[in-house]
Chains A and B, each alone.
Chain A
Amino acid sequence: MKNILKTKAMTMQFGGVTAVNALEIEINEHEIVALIGPNGAGKTTAFNMITGVYTPTNGAVIYTDAEGQECNITGMKPSEIAKIGIARTFQNIRLFKDLSVYENVIIAKHLHLKSDFMSATLHMPWYNKEQAKAEEKVEELLKKVDLWDMREEKASSLPYGKQRRLEIVRALATEPRLLLLDEPAAGMNPKETDELTVFIKQIRQEYNLTVFMIEHHMELVMEISDRIYVLDFGETIAKGSTEEIQNNKRVIEAYLGVDEDA
């Protein structure tokens, strides 16, 4: 299997605090990989380094593009990283709240636009053609994920579960190869979580995605992950398949604490 993303000794220090220390991750194409760990373990920091929000103080992020070329994406801008095929969602939903569902999704198509600003403003034929194609894709996508009927509604007026879903759909609209989900099930009830599990599996199949996610819902993680990385205080304390992680002593200690009598 070819890998799609690799981090080499990726480290982030804020002042004297090491939030993530020498993180080594390898994600293969078409896998679902989970990153777990207690609060403050540095999971979101790791995501922010991969997506360009932070520049790692040390180490490198290597991405393998669709042609199989390895490229070093360390320190690239978030917008450039989105362009090469890595999309993400956020821990606290970050939708464009006052815009409609449809606008939220079609904005994600802007990065594929080749027309310059003048031809877009004057609605030149080549721009209209590009735009029509984008609109078609958005319609198809929204219909597939059952949001088409709500396209006119304000994003902020959707129910919570739907907002989470919309955020994933918006990320999908950038046509990524690697999708980073930051706690997609946070705040969801069991029914919504089940729906999400099905949804993630479905989109992975349909869009040939690789998924890398941070999640606290262990049921969800154990059900859909191929492999798991566990972080604690910025250190990688374990990695492996779901069974390996479930039986790993250090992971249990990190989550439940050490038994003093033992």
Chain B
Amino acid sequence: MKNKRDLILSAILLIVLFGASWFANSELDSYIRRIVNLCLIYAIIGLSMNVTNGFAGQFSLGQAGFMAIGAYTVGIFTVPVELRANVFYAVPMNPFIADIQMPVWLALIVGGLLAALVAFLIGTPVLRLRGDYLAIATLGFSEIIRICITNASSFTNGALGIKDIPPLNDVRYIFVVTAITFVFIAALINSSYGRAFKAIREDEIAAEAMGINLYKHKCLAFMISAFFAGIGGGLYGTLLGTVDPKNFLFTLTYNFLLIIVLGGMGSITGSMLGAIIVTAGLEYLRIFDEPLKLFGTMIPLFRPGFRMVMFSALLMACVLFWRHGIMGTREITWSKLIAFCKNPIGFFKRKGAAQ
């Protein structure tokens, strides 16, 4: 009965949010729309990263590479055929793919699948490693992917990048993809496979003794993560309108690491919160980049770049006070929300006592 209530409430929430995305699409100015889009895309990639890092407990830093695969797939296959000679002016496009054009949704799925395939190939050797070693190896592979892309000029236009990607500035579209990602990952985590992932995170040796095939499940988590990172990367490509290898430096991965650490490793709703806070926070802290005049004197600190200092300070405060991120491994559930609405003060008291 409780399950049914939660399902209905979630469905209503999704419909309301979809309505909101409709409104955002037609009413808001392009700057805000861009921030909303970026939030949603970062949420997709944050969620995908949480599957390996938060739930399966495998510290992987390969997200930028998988995003690049998705973004380039979208870039290569959605640029209209007649514009391609313009884009590939240095090295002509490989005739094998020169005439293939796909709608965006198909290119996104193909990009996701390709990323998952690469994850499978990388996973075989890499997932035997643990902890820091796994992080270093995945980081390395993400750079290898980027360098392969830089050098495969007839496919990817090399260092020049691909421009003229048809923009997809539609909040509704991106919202729907985010919603699908969220629902899929939430359903996965609440299934028997999701519990197996958590078991691996908690104790690999015990998990294996309980009949969980480590390699199979780690690889599965890695591939799912890559698939959604590919899709997120594809959307990111359409948002930018151009892709070039420098967009996918390994530093990009740290944005998402930040999102999941801030939101809580192993919390889906936490990743959503983290994505919104990081993306929107970085934008709204721009006031610190602008000169400020107070009582007739210029405050010297307020200059371009100060925003990042403030952001870092805020992050440090977060990590100091919420060591496991805002949510930890907890989730925002309907039961908790209802309890909160009924008795906001008592809710926090009870929670405090439980900790």
Contacts and interface: CB of A to CB of B under 8 A. Distances in A.
A229 interface: no
B220 A77 contact: no
B206 A95 contact: yes
Given A98-B202, A122-B187, A117 B193 contact: yes
A96 interface: yes
Contacts of A97: 202-203
Q: How big is chain B's contact interface, by range?
A: 20 to 34
Contacts of B198: 96, 99, 103, 107
Contacts of B208: 77-79, 82
Given A79-B212, A96-B199, A107-B199, A123 B206 contact: no
A110 interface: yes
Given A108-B211, A110-B212, A113-B192, A96 B203 contact: yes
Interface in B152-210: 184, 187-188, 191-193, 195-196, 198-199, 202-203, 205-210
A77 B213 contact: yes
A83 to B, nearest CB: 5
Contacts of B187: 121-123
B209 A87 contact: yes
Contacts of B247: none
Interface string A166-181: 0000110010000000
Contacts of B213: 77, 79-80
Interface string A112-145: 0101010011110001000100100000000000
A175 to B, nearest CB: 10
B252 interface: no
A260 to B, nearest CB: 43
A96 B203 CA distance: 6
Interface in A151-196: 170-171, 174
Given A77-B213, A79-B211, A110 B192 contact: yes
Interface in A38-85: 51, 53, 77-80, 82-83
Contacts of A113: 192
Contact of B192 (A77, A87, A122, A131): A131
B202 A79 contact: no
B209 A82 contact: yes
A120 B192 contact: yes
B270 to A, nearest CB: 15
Shortest 6 CB-CB contacts between residues of A and residues of B: A111-B211, A82-B211, A96-B202, A94-B206, A120-B191, A78-B208
Interface of A: 51, 53, 77-80, 82-83, 87-88, 90, 94-99, 103, 106-111, 113, 115, 117, 120-123, 127, 131, 134, 170-171, 174
